[in-house]
Amino acid sequence: MQSTQTATRTCLNCSAPYEQDQSFCPSCGQSTHVHRLTVGHILHEFFHAIFHTDTSIFGIIKHLMVRPGYIARAYVDGKRKSLYNPFNFLVVLVALSILIINLSGVDVFQARNGNPVANLMTKHFNLVIFFTVPLTALYTSLLFKKQEVNFAEAAVLACYTAGERTVFFLVLVIPLMKFFPEHHLAIIWSYLWLYALYFAMACVQFTGQRTVLGFFKGILPTIFLQITLYLLIFLSIYLYHVLK
């Protein structure tokens, strides 16, 4: 008698068994069609990660321009397979921004004036961006507590918007600073207010509180963030001169 059983194999990622006719591991979801790596395969994966639909960097950047709150809400509500991970998104954009800033030669924090804090922020620009995420998430979760937004959910929104903020910075601020360095302060303030309005829109979309009050509350996290950063900067400068 011919056997009706299907041969089983073992997933190379998690070692779970799967049927021979299954295209994906039922345990971890990895493709069962794993081939030896080639240069062509690596290039395919690279361009797929950059350009492919919503899960790509370019795809998520496009959607985050006008729908940041909806994207973050979809991720929080469980639609995570088809969306670029917010934390990975921020890491990739920050790494790209450091590369472009270094190549452009733009003195973002005016460290050439000899300010020790500016020097520190220039050298650790990535840490400055990452530091803003938990602060933004904290202020957002407190302001939208009645809408039941917790810290972790607010962190998703903060990561997506901080990543898109980095895109704004690279596309708008860096070229303007490069060609109009004498207007450095005006460029920075315009950029900060643009981001404040963008984040407010994101909060309205994320929480569903489509009112003037909701929009105003959405601006406050970025204002509180800047106040906190300036206080820390002034404190750092004071301690530097005291301990010098």
What is the C-alpha end-to-end distance of the chain, expressed in Å?
89
Local structure of residue 74 (DSSP, 8 states): H
pTM, two decimal places: 0.78
* pLDDT at residue 2, as a whole number: 46
CA–CA gap between residue 213 and residue 69 (Å, rounded): 17
> Could you read off the pLDDT of 90-139 as tens digits, one per residue?
988 888 888 888 888 777 766 566 666 666 666 667 777 888 999 999 99
> Could you read off the pLDDT of 142-167 as tens digits, one per residue?
999 999 999 999 999 999 999 999 99
- Cβ burial, residue 42 (10 Å; 0-12/13-18/19+): exposed
